[in-house]
Amino acid sequence: MFIIPAVDIKNGQCVRLAQGDFDRVTVYAENPADMARHWAQKGAARIHIVDLDGSVAGLPKNAAIILDIAKSVSVPIEVGGGIRNMETISYYLENGVSSVILGTAAIQDEGFVKKAAQAYPGKIILGIDALGGQAAVRGWTQKTSQNAVELAKRYEHCGIQAIVYTDIHRDGMETGVNIEQTRGMARAVSIPVIASGGVATLADIDALLAVTDCSFYGVIIGRALYTGAIVLEDAIKKTLQTSSHQEEEKHG
């Protein structure tokens, strides 16, 4: 399971929102690229980048910063926010971004998402953000009547790399990851699932690693890393220890 630091960008700064509320912003760094480099140097094997301004506008707003990050870190970056057409996907993937995240488009244009997954197999991630099990779009500003799990099932077997499943109520609140809903998503689909939203302490990492009837591709951590509630190296160490222990059990 990958430990994936989040770098959210708003007005050119590295920020965290509380429950996706654009009026509840905390700025953690003036330069998001410096923050991404910091996490890479601390051992992150992957970094999650979100263009918050782009997610609302429907087109990239911080692309120059994102490409700077792509060029300056040696680890893969996944990017979401305002990616609604093939031109934007191509632009990012051809300039150093490893994977792009499609959220709003997953609900509003199924054909486009499947076309993108076929054109760039293993490079497209579904961003499914949920309020009470229902998907939300446009930077979480609009709730829909679409059930999150049913939405995910529509994209089985079309080349999707992973699903980032976020519990909006918990995101940025450090109230604990929603194990049951995330587990429900992981059990319902064959697409690898990345847990997101509410990770507060190393106990949340332990809880995800303790799930035995499914596995998680990764977990995104935001505010808890920035406040120091979780030390990145400690979280990575836990995943490595669990992986090593599981291998030992497998081979007797």
pLDDT in tens, 102-131: 988 888 899 999 999 999 999 999 999 887
Share of the chain above pLDDT 70, in %: 89
Going by pLDDT thresholds of 50, 70 and 90, the confidence category of residue 10 is very high
- The more confident residue out of 171 and 168 is 168
User: How many Å apart are CA 14 and CA 49, to the nearest integer?
Assistant: 10
**Average pLDDT for 59-81:** 97
Is 129 annotated as catalytic?
yes
So what's the pLDDT on residue 176?
81
With a CB cutoff of 8 Å and minimum separation 6, the contacts of 76 are 45, 46, 47, 98, 99
Answer yes or no: is pLDDT of 146 > 50.
Answer: yes
Residue 140 confidence (pLDDT): 46
Contact 134, 146 (CB under 8 A): yes
Domain holding 236, by residue range, is 2-250
Band of pLDDT at residue 21, cut at 50, 70 and 90: confident
Does 25 or 242 have the greater pLDDT score? 25
Instruction: Output the pLDDT for position 167.
Output: 80
Given a contact cutoff of 8 angstroms between Cβ atoms, the answer to whether 126 and 106 are in contact is yes
State residue 99's pLDDT score.
98
User: Beta strand pairing status for 77-80 and 47-51?
Assistant: parallel
Tally the domains of the chain: 1
| Paired sense of beta strands 77-80 and 193-196, if any | unpaired
Report pLDDT digits (tens) over 208-224. Answer: 999 999 999 999 999 99
| Backbone torsions φ then ψ of 240, nearest 5 degrees | -70, -40
Task: Give dist(CA 152, CA 144) in Å, integer.
Answer: 14
Residue 139 pLDDT level (bands cut at 50, 70, 90) = very low
Q: Nearest Cα to 9, choosing from 111, 58, 80, 96?
A: 80
Instruction: Tell me if 178 sits within 8 A of 197, measured CB to CB.
Output: yes
Confidence at residue 251, expressed as pLDDT on a 0 to 100 scale: 57
pLDDT tens-digit map of 183-212: 999 999 999 999 998 899 999 999 999 999
The whole-number pLDDT of residue 245 equals 59
Q: Write the pLDDT tens digit of every residue in 41-57.
A: 999 999 999 999 998 89
Which one from 53, 129, 171, 204 is the annotated catalytic residue?
A: 129
**Which residues are within 8 A (CB) of 47 and not within 5 positions of it... i.e. 6 or more apart?**
4, 5, 6, 7, 36, 39, 40, 69, 73, 75, 76, 77, 78
Residue in 8, 51, 53, 171 annotated catalytic: 8
* C-alpha span between 33 and 216 (Å, rounded): 27
CATH code (residue 153): 3.20.20.70
Q: Would residue 213 show up in a list of annotated catalytic residues for this protein? A: no
Task: Supply the pLDDT for residue 41.
Answer: 98
